[in-house]
Amino acid sequence: MRNKEMLLIPGPTPVVDEIYDALAAETWGHTDPRFVEIYRRGLDMTRKLLNTDGEVFVVAGSGTLAMEMAIVNTVAPGEKLLVVSQGYFGDRFAPLAKAFGIHVETLQAEWGKRVDPQAVAAKLAEGGFKAVTVTHVDTSTGVMADVDALMPIVKRAGALFILDGVCATAGIEEDMGRDYGAPGQRIDVVLTGSQKAIGVPPGLAIVAFSPAALAAREALERVPAYYADIKNWLPVMRDPSKYFATPAINMVYAYTKALELIFAEGLPTRYARHAAYGKAIRAALAVYGMRALAAEGDAAPTLTCVLYPEGVNDADFRKRLAGKGMVVAGALAALAGKAFRIGHMGNTTPEMLARAVALIGETLRELGAPVDVERALATFRETYAAGIR
């Protein structure tokens, strides 16, 4: 590995050498058949990853652009959007949609908890909601949404289901070909970025539209966007030799390589690995008296928001870890200073996470907490092994 540090923030995640090599390859022209072939393979694998019979869009941008593409192409100014929010990134859909004149209502869970599906049903019963946004994993809280519970409720209300997979896609199953509750009740839009469980540096916005979501775009005629208008991109996504705006050539090399690695690992194995990471990290940190913000049943496979035990100073703790070559993130908003966030997704390895457990233990010891590093490591290994069996 070329990386000198362990980047265990909730994205970007560690980039492996094969992906760096792809990034550093010679830049071909965007209509060069060799590039076109790589782009086409990347798009095909994106369809396979999300199991969609709709269309996928892979364009230069970050996750926020993907959010914007999902919204402007499905909900018109003046229409109603329901935001189901489990934290900071769920909330982001509200100002985003309002910027386009969309009427937004937000159901916000207490940080660390899920939104009650019954509250979603009650709100939707008021009628008139065109779409509902759900953040699969909110990166601020480490809470994973209950897609199984929410999907039938949203579909029964006749609304489009938009899933923000920025901190989930390729680490947690997102199957757009699956029926939830009744035949044909399917996820309409999945959006994500390249830099998290996919394992590529930041720079690509990835969005998938189901046939129903594409029909919604068609019915809108004009949308208040140009670069984010999927109709401008459709010809390119169907035939990547076509031009609309210059693709991020080297990012596409890296992305296609990342998807090859994902399919070489196999989706079920990859999802099981992530689930086991989440359980093992939380169990190991519990040995140090550190508790996750989310209850285990709501906690994400991809990252954990960890509450500090009494007396641990956030800045000091993270600075000491950084000095040992390991980077974690602080917490957001009201949790700032009270918790840190550790990413455990993408091409992060079990060895890296075991090392992370050891370094966190060493740091707590330096700060005067008499922790048992060996027991935490054993807990990590046992829980991980049990999780992938």
Residues forming the site for ligand PMP (CB under 6 A): 11, 62-64, 67, 89, 135, 138-139, 164, 166-167, 193, 202
Structural tokens at position 356? 């992370």
- Considering only CA atoms, give the Rg of the chain: 21
| Least Cβ distance, residue 214 to ligand PMP (angstroms) | 22
| Least Cβ distance, residue 198 to ligand PMP (angstroms) | 12
Own/partner contacts of 123-126, CB < 8 Å, gap of 24 or more, are 123/82, 124/82, 124/153, 124/154, 124/157, 124/159, 125/157
**Closer Cβ to ligand PMP, 164 or 173, answer by number:** 164
* C-beta neighbour count of 339 within 10 angstroms: 26
Helices (H), 324-366: 350-366
> For 302, which DSSP code?
S
Give the torsion through C-alpha atoms of 48, 276, 258, 135, to 10 deg.
70
**Closer Cβ to ligand PMP, 11 or 346, answer by number:** 11
| Least Cβ distance, residue 110 to ligand PMP (angstroms) | 18
**Closer Cβ to ligand PMP, 157 or 172, answer by number:** 172
Contacts of 218 (CB under 8 A, 6+ apart): none
CB 226 within 8 A of CB 68: no
**Closer Cβ to ligand PMP, 134 or 281, answer by number:** 134
| Least Cβ distance, residue 196 to ligand PMP (angstroms) | 7
**Closer Cβ to ligand PMP, 223 or 300, answer by number:** 300
| Least Cβ distance, residue 264 to ligand PMP (angstroms) | 25
**Closer Cβ to ligand PMP, 55 or 164, answer by number:** 164
| Least Cβ distance, residue 28 to ligand PMP (angstroms) | 26
